Amino acid sequence: MSKTIAGFSKLSKSKKIDWIVDTYFSNAEDAKRILKQYWNSNDKLQQLHDEFIENTITNYYLPLGVAPNFLINNKLHTIPMAIEESSVVAAASKAAKFWLDRGGFKTEVISTTKIGQVHFMYKGDVEKLKAFFKQVKPKLIEATEAITKNMTKRGGGVLDIELRDKTVDIENYFQLHVSFETLDAMGANFINSCLEQFAKTFKTEALTFDLFSETEKDIEIVMSILSNYVPDCLVRAEVSCKVEDLSEDKTISGEAFAHKFVQAVNIAEVEPYRAVTHNKGIMNGIDAVVLATGNDFRAVEAGVHAYASRNGRYSSLSHAAIENGVFKFWIEIPLALGTVGGLTGLHPLVKLALEMLHKPTAKELMQIVAVAGLAQNFAALRSLTTTGIQQGHMKMHLMNILNQFEANASEKQALTEHFKTHTVTHNAVLEALNALRA
C-alpha cells in the first residue's frame, strides 16, 4: 500500500531503494536486483549519473544506434540516434543511402535568434510606460554586462529588447520581449539570468521615474523566463533529383512515385489528424539525435509543434513539389540546440556522439538534426505510398515480439528466416513459435 514519507531526498540511495521496493513491490528482493542491474560498475561514472537529477535510484537505458551514409552539403556523416522504437534507425539509414547517390542533403541555417520574456502588470498611462521604457532600456543592457560579457566577446548576447502591450489579452499585462544570440550554447541559463536582472532593474528604476504616479511605480513582475518557441531559430534541409531518378525497382515508376508522394505531403498539410502522425515520424528522427547529443528534446518538441500551428491550424512540417521534372522535398524547422554546456560536457556518450559528428557547432548540429527528421519522413512516406508501413515496421519489430515470448537463439534464427517470406503479426509469430516448439 502506498504511503507518504518525510525527508525522502535526505535518505541515502540504498535507503531510498529500500523504501521504494518495500512499499511498491510484491517481491522486494527481485525489484532491488533489477534496479541494481542497471547501475554502472564504474563508481565514478555512476556518481556522475546520480547527480544529473534528484532522488536517483538507478539508470534507465535506451539503445544508442547509428545511421551511416548521410551526405550533408557534400560531407559524409554517421548520425548517432538514441531511441527505443523499432525501424527508426533502419529507416533513416535506408533514406541516407537512397539520397547518397542522388546528391545527398542540402542544408542552411536561416536564423538563430532565441527569445526570452519578462511578464509584468502595470496599472497606468501607457504613454508614460513607453517613455519610461525608452529611458530605461540602455540601463537594462548595462545591468547585465557582467552576465553577457563573455558571450558578447564571442559575438553573441542581447540583440534587442521590446516593450509589448498585451492588454487586449489580459488587463494591465505587458512584456519585455527580448531577443538573444547564444552561439554554440542552447542558452537557457544565460537567457534566464539576463531576464531576471532585467526584471530587477526595471522594477527598481520605475520607483524613481518622475512621470509615474505612486500607483504606476508599483510594477508587478509576474515571471521572467525564456521561450521554447523559437520561430526565428530556423534551419532548412532539402533533397531533390530528377523525377525519373526516384525509381529503384519495376513496381512503380519515378513519376508515379513522385506524384503519390507529393499527394501524401499535401494531405498532411491540410488534414491535422494526418499531420500529427506525419510530424511524429519527423520527430522520431529529430528526437533521437537531440537525445543522443545531450540536448533538450522536450523543448524541441514543444517549439516544433507550436511552429506547425503558427498559421492557425496544425500542419505538416515538411513539403514536397515537382517543378520542371525535378522532385523536391524539404523541411524548415525551428531548433534551439547547443554543443557546449549542459550534458554536452558531462555525459561520456554525449561527448562521443558529438565527436562522431565531427564536433559540430550549434549551427552544424541544427542542420544534422533537421536532416535526420527529413530522412525519417522520407522513409515513412516512401513505405506508406508503396508497400504500406507495416511490412517494414513489423519485420523490424519481430525481435521484440520474440523476446516477449522468451524465444531462444535457435528459435529466433528459425523464425527470422521464416518471416522473410511471411507477414509479421503478433498472432502469426505466436503461432509459428508454438508450432516450432511443438
Per-residue pLDDT of the chain (438 residues; tens, 9 = 90+): 568 999 999 999 999 999 999 999 999 999 999 999 999 999 999 999 999 999 999 999 999 999 999 999 999 999 999 999 988 999 999 999 999 999 999 999 999 999 999 999 999 999 999 999 999 999 999 999 999 999 999 999 999 999 999 999 999 999 999 999 999 999 999 999 999 999 999 999 999 999 999 999 999 999 999 999 999 999 999 999 999 999 876 778 999 999 999 999 999 999 999 999 999 999 999 999 999 999 999 999 999 999 999 999 999 999 999 999 999 999 999 999 999 988 888 999 999 999 999 999 999 999 999 999 999 999 999 999 887 655 555 556 677 788 887 888 888 888 888 877 777 777 888 878 888 787
The residues annotated as belonging to the active site are 85, 280, 296, 393
The cell numbers describing 328, all together, are: 523536391
Query: What dihedral angle (degrees, nearest 10) is formed by the CA atoms of 330, 159, 147, 337?
Result: 0
Q: Which fold has domain 114-226?
A: Alpha-Beta Plaits (3.30.70)
In one letter, which amino acid is 242? K
Query: Could you check whether 64-110+234-387 and 114-226 share the same CATH topology?
Result: no
Question: CA 62, CA 83: separation in Å to the nearest integer?
Answer: 6
In one letter, which amino acid is 317? L
Residues 6+ apart with CB under 8 A from 159: 113, 179, 180, 181
Domain edges within the chain: 8-50, 64-110+234-387, 114-226, 393-437
DSSP 268-315: HHH-HHHHHHHHHHHHHHHHHHHHHTT--HHHHHHHHHHHHTTTSS--
Contact 109, 234 (CB under 8 A): yes
Q: Which CATH architecture has domain 64-110+234-387?
A: Alpha-Beta Complex (3.90)
CA angle 253, 256, 259 (to 5 degrees): 145
- pTM attached to this predicted model: 0.88
Per-residue burial over 233-256, b if 16 or more Cβ lie within 10 Å, else e, is: bbbbbbbbbebeebeeeeebebee
